[in-house]
Every structure is written in structure tokens, then in C-alpha cells.
Amino acid sequence: MDETQDEPPLDPPLGCADPLLWRVARSLYEAHRPRTDNFCECRSFWPCPDAQLAEEALQLAYGRPSPRTSRPGLGRTSNLGRWSA
């Protein structure tokens, strides 16, 4: 059984639109994992807002439009890339 199959890779995948954003989002993803007791690693209820943000940011970084995300402000990758140097 390979439970890591579904996980985003640590390094930006080939064709990733925004590798920098990917790394930021990936470390956020790493810090917010579901535990067996229905809580996140940060001890909020799962899924916590940060975990959802990480998920969206990963999709965004990869350049894959996510249909369920229609929040204005998250739709542009240009500004997000400047969060980290």
C-alpha cells in the first residue's frame, strides 16, 4: 500500500507554472495534515483553513484551474509569487 501516491511531490512537478509558490504551498501542506482523531496537526478541526489554502495554492502553482475555487483574489498567480523570496 502506498499512501503517499496521492500526495503532491516536495519538488515542483514538471510543467509547474509557479515553482516558488509550489514550495511555499507544499510546506504549508506539510504543516497541516489530518490526524486520526479528526484534527489537523495544528490542532484545529480538520480540514483547517490553512490546509484548504495549501491545497488551493498547490493547484494554483501547478497552473490547474480548480472549478470549485471561485474566490476573487486567489485567481491570480502573479501576486502570490511574491510572498516568498
For Zn ion, the closer of residues 26 and 32 by Cβ is 32
In b/e form, how buried is each residue of 11-40, taking b as 16+ CB within 10 angstroms?
Answer: ebeeebebebbbbbbbebbeebeeeeeeeb
Minimal distance in Å, beta carbon 58 to Zn ion?
Answer: 15
Residues 5-64 that bind Zn ion (CB under 5 A): 32, 40, 42, 48, 50-51
**In this structure, are residues 13 and 74 in contact, taking their beta carbons and an 8 Å threshold?**
no
Minimal distance in Å, beta carbon 25 to Zn ion?
Answer: 14
Q: Summarize as ranges the residues that interact with Zn ion (CB under 5 A).
A: 32, 40, 42, 48, 50-51
